[in-house]
Structure 1
Amino acid sequence: MMPFNNLGFVFKHFGSIIYSKPILEDLCIFLHGFTDKESVLDIGAGTGVMSEFAYRCNNTLKYVAVDPAEGMLKYAPEYLETHIGTAEALPFKDSSFDAVFMGESLHHFNDIDAALSEVVRVLKDGGRLFIYDFDRGTFLGKSVCFMERVFGEPANFYEPAVLKEVLESYGFSVSIKKHGWRYTVSASL
């Protein structure tokens, strides 16, 4: 396994490089229409890079992050409420959030079914989900997947069409935008 607990400094200063302009635009579009009465959960947040980008799009929301690596969360911005935990056992009550983010984190989850069940549990009725990840159907996506496996990570990468089917089986309505070897998912219950 990658020693994420010891990599917070690296991710804080270099993690944002992987977020291209189209991905950030998709995130801002996803957040359009949310109000200050709503809250979002960043699962597998690491240092909170995705929440930082989201905050630039809409700074009126309540931002909450969960990650198993305390060493990552200690680099999160002050406005981000942080919790130690895993996607498979979220430390929140049912129907707690209006939206959930997963930025480059889905492929790290050990049990995708348990994680998605937890997402559905903590989302309010009509809640929304935003995912950004790498497309394993591309050369660069396969390369990232290979490297993750070398480091002992679960490497649960999906081709976009397959992830769409998985999310639909959980009751989500799904829209996917491809960006070369990466993609975003905007889904709602």
Structure 2
Amino acid sequence: MIPFNYLGYFFKHFGSVIYPKEVLDELCIFLEPLHNEASVLDVGAGTGVMSEFAHRRNSKLKYVAIDPAEGMLKYAPNYAEVHVGTAEALPFEDDSFEAILMGESLHHFYDPDAAMKEVVRVLKKDGKLFIYDFDLGTFRGKAICTMEKLLGEPGHFYEVDALKKMLEGYGFRVEVSKHKWRYTVSANL
């Protein structure tokens, strides 16, 4: 298992370099319709890099970060409310958030179905979900998946069409954009 609890400093200082400009552009488009003071949950936040990118676009949103690795969260931005926890058991009331972000976290969830049920539960009506991850349908995506599984990670990587179908099964309307060996998903309930 990757010792994320001890890697916070590394991810804080180097984690953002793996986010291509196209992904950040799509994140900006995703955030645009949100009203000021909308609640945004960063699931599997790590050091909060997705929240940081989002905050640059709209600093008036209310940011909440959750991750099981306390050692990562200690590097989260101070404007984010921080919680130690998992995607499969979100410690929030029903209908709490207008938007949820998942930046390279979905493949780390031990039970993606349980996590998606929680996402749907805590999203408000007409809530939005943004996912950025590696495409299992590409050579690099398969290589990353194999490496992570060898390191003891769950490795729940998806091919784009399979993820789209799964999210539609939870009631999302899904738009997918491919970026070479990565993808983004913008989904609405």
Equivalent-residue separation in structure 2 for 1:33 and 1:56 (angstroms) = 15
Show the counterpart of 1:108: 108
Unaligned runs of 5+ in 1: none
Equivalent-residue separation in structure 1 for 2:91 and 2:125 (angstroms) = 19
- Give, in angstroms, the shift of residue 183 of structure 1: 0.4
Task: Provide the TM-score with structure 2 as the length reference.
Answer: 0.99
Structure 1 segments (4+ residues) deviating >6 Å: none
Show the counterpart of 2:117: 117
2:148 partner letter: E
- Give, in angstroms, the shift of residue 18 of structure 1: 0.6
User: What per-residue deviation string (whole Å, max 9, x for no partner) do you get for residues 72-108 of structure 1?
Assistant: 0000010011000000000100000000000000000
Show the counterpart of 2:93: 93
SS of the counterpart of 2:131? Answer: strand
2:154 partner letter: P
Show the counterpart of 1:188: 188
Tell me, yes or no, if structure 1 residue 147 matches structure 2 residue 147: yes
Q: RMSD of the TM alignment (CA)?
A: 0.5
Unaligned runs of 5+ in 2: none
Task: Provide the TM-score with structure 1 as the length reference.
Answer: 0.99
Tell me, yes or no, if structure 1 residue 131 matches structure 2 residue 142: no
Show the counterpart of 2:9: 9
SS of the counterpart of 2:92? Answer: coil
Equivalent-residue separation in structure 1 for 2:163 and 2:58 (angstroms) = 27
SS of the counterpart of 1:88? Answer: helix
Aligned length: 189
Equivalent-residue separation in structure 1 for 2:180 and 2:58 (angstroms) = 26
- Give, in angstroms, the shift of residue 37 of structure 1: 2.9
- Report the identity percentage: 68
Equivalent-residue separation in structure 1 for 2:81 and 2:87 (angstroms) = 16
